[in-house]
Every structure is written in C-alpha cells, then in structure tokens.
Amino acid sequence: MISPPQLAAMAHAYGVSVARLRAARRYLYGGLFWGTLAQLWLLAVLAHLAFRGCGVRGRDWLRARIGEGWRLYLVFSAGLLALLELALLPWDFGIGFLRESLYGFERLSLAGWLLDWLKSALIGIAAGALLALLFAFLARRFPRRWWLAAWALVVAFMLAGAVIEPIWIEPLFNRFTPVKNVQLRRLIRQEAVRAGVPHAAIYQVNRGRQSSHTNAYVIGLLGSQRIVVYNTLLREYPPPEVRFIVAHELGHYVLHHLWLGLAFGAAWLLPLFWLGAWIFHRAARRPRFSAPGASLPAADPAALPLLLFLLAALLWLSTPAFNGFSRWEEHQADAFALRLDPHPAAGIAAFKRFVRTDLSYPAPPPWVVWWFYNHPSLQQRVGFIARQARASGKRP
C-alpha cells in the first residue's frame, strides 16, 4: 500500500488533488475486480452449459423442430451466443453504465445505452453465428485436423474485422466528420506527412456522445488510412498534446503494429487451438456428451458450449502474453512519437493529463501491469520520455 505522503507527492507530480488520485485508484481496482468477476461468470456459465449436458439437450430439442443441416447449426449457435449476451448483460450494465455514471464518464441515457448494447449484441451474434457455421463446414471437411482449419478461419476473421470494423461497424454507433479546427487539422496533417502517411483522412468522432473518455487512433488497410481523434480529446487537450498523441498513433501505423499484432495473435493461437483440441477429444468421450465407446464430434452443434468454454479459458490464461506484446508495441509507438515530434514536454503533459481527464492511476503495482495492462503505466511512460529528453539534452 502506498503511504499518504507518497500519495500526496504523486498527486503533486501529476498536477491533481489527492482526492482525484484516490478516485483514480478506486476506479482502477474496482474495474479490475468487477471485470475479473465478469470473466469468471462467463467461464462459469460456459462450464455449466458444457458439462451439464445443455448442448446435447438443446441440439436434440432443436433437431426435433427444424431437422438436421446448416439451419440446425445456425439457429443453435445464434441462440447460444444470444444466451451468453443476456448472461453478461447485468455485468455490462453494472460496469459499462452504472459504474461509468458513478465516476462521471457516462453520457448516454439508459435507453441510449441499451440501444447501443443491443446493436453491439446483434452484430456479435450475427458474426459469431456465421463463424460457427463456417467452422461446422470445415470440421466436417477435415475431421482429424479441424482445429487447424478453425485456427485459419479465426485468423481470417481477425483480418476481416480489422478492415470492416472501422469503416462499416463504428459508423453505426458514431458520426465521423473532418476535424473542424483548421489550425489543428493542419498540425495533424504536418505530422502525417513527416510520418510518411500524407494521404490519410483526418476525422474527429463524436465519442463524447457516449463517454467523456479521451482517445485517438490511426487505422487503415488496403488504402483506407484514417486518423481519428475523439472530440473529447480535442476539447480537453491543447494542440501540442493532441499532436504528440497523434504522433504516437501514427507510430502504430508506420511501424506496422496492426500487422504485427495479427501475426502475434495468429502465432499464439496456433498451439492454443491444438491444446484446446487435445483437451476437447478427451472430454468428448465422456458419457454426458456421447454414447459409450463414441466421441462427440467437433462439428456437432452440441460441442459448441465445450469448445467455447475451452477457448475462453485458454484465452483468459493467455492474457499476460497478449498484454505484454501490446505493451511492447505501445512503448515502440512512444519512442516513435518522440522522434517524429521531439517535444518531450508535450508528451509528459499529455500523459499526466490522463490522470485528470480519464482517472488513469499512474503507478499500479508491477503484477497488475503484467496481467491487466495493455499499455505501460503512466509512470513508466512519463519516466521514459523524461530519460530520453535528458539523454538528448532537452528539458522534459
């Protein structure tokens, strides 16, 4: 535990009150606590569905009404995904609406939040059911190497999602318009030209409609480069800090972090899918899944709860690996931003401002960073910029 004098010194260093820093710490640890419980709840629901014979009974009930074939698999998978969305709704509501409202971030009414939740759920169910249907086809086509076909399918969906989501999905929730501030748009364009992305479109998005959190990102594949800045960031941060944040996001694009992230995810998922298949084949021989001497095929819709449970559990256990790779990319983007926009004071000021605007607690324990953080802590990021500034003879 950090002592009161240390907390006061940290609050002074980051330009916030001790009360604000305490609120940031509560926001962090409360989010980790409730988020972990939600993840464990999802695993418990999937375990119940998988090991209590719910998949077999659900399949038999549907088969008696709609018969065999692709319709059975499509309806079963869509129903299962809808059930999971409903099981997580209380957690989504508590964490994403009530808690965000308590800390002053939520901007939607209850009706508006529910509408966004419904749109997101329907998109997830539709995409998931399509993925499940294609998986069933491949699992029947490759009964011995179904896990390898499933891995290739998931990687293809990851790539498709990276292309489709920013262009076609996100506009269903928010409005994208050119940055209205002419001076700031010119500054961002200058950064993009220096970074080697001269033709990227520059947008602001009305994320303040949902939340007062701030952010920016650069995305684009196949010639669709775009720089997107939240309107909350434009409202809360002065131009030099916005420029540094955009330089950081440009670093992700120029350093090909999207492609590297996809490659890392694909490489990590390959042995994960093999391990999941190994466990599945041993569990599928149990009497609750199949007749004595038989084994539940992966292509059977009744196998979906077990497959999803194994995938969710293995992905959860892989959290430190994915977050560790993401932290490495974020550090590389910070270093790129310093090279592109050599104004360390702006970078330090921007990171410190996150404490005030987003309740980002600057100094979590190392184990929290290791498991939960996909960015370095603010303390680490500020320290890195300060060291680089001193090494180059500049004032941090």
Residue identified by tokens 């959860």 is: 316
Decide if pLDDT at 103 tops 60.
yes
Euclidean distance between the first and the last CA atom of the chain, given in angstroms as a whole number:
29
What pTM did the predictor assign? 0.94
Helix 344-358, helix 18-51: angle, nearest 10? 70
Q: What is the pLDDT of residue 395?
A: 65
User: Taking the CA of residue 62 as centre, how many other CA atoms within 13 Å lie in the half-sphere pointing to its CB?
Assistant: 22
Q: Which residues contact 353 (CB under 8 A, 6 or more apart)?
A: 236, 237, 241
Mean pLDDT across the stretch 204-230? 88
Q: In angstroms, rounded to a whole number, what is the distance separating the alpha carbons of residues 264 and 269? A: 8
Mean pLDDT across the stretch 170-180? 94
Decide if pLDDT at 8 tops 60.
yes
Mean pLDDT across the stretch 164-193? 92
Domains and CATH numbers, the chain: 1-44+318-396 (no CATH), 53-172+258-317 (no CATH), 174-254 (3.30.2010.10)
Tens of pLDDT, residue by residue over 116-152, are 999 999 999 999 999 999 999 999 999 999 999 999 9
Using CA atoms of 365, 313, 129, 49 in order, give the dihedral in degrees to the nearest 10: -130
- Per the DSSP assignment, residues forming a β-bridge with 202 are 227
Six-digit token pair at 347?
A: 């970078």
Q: In angstroms, rounded to a whole number, what is the distance separating the alpha carbons of residues 16 and 396? A: 19
Residue (of 211, 282, 219) closest to 256 by Cα position: 219
Q: What is the pLDDT of residue 71?
A: 93
Q: In angstroms, rounded to a whole number, what is the distance separating the alpha carbons of residues 274 and 152? A: 12
Tens of pLDDT, residue by residue over 320-377, are 999 999 999 999 999 999 999 888 999 999 999 999 999 999 999 999 999 999 999 9
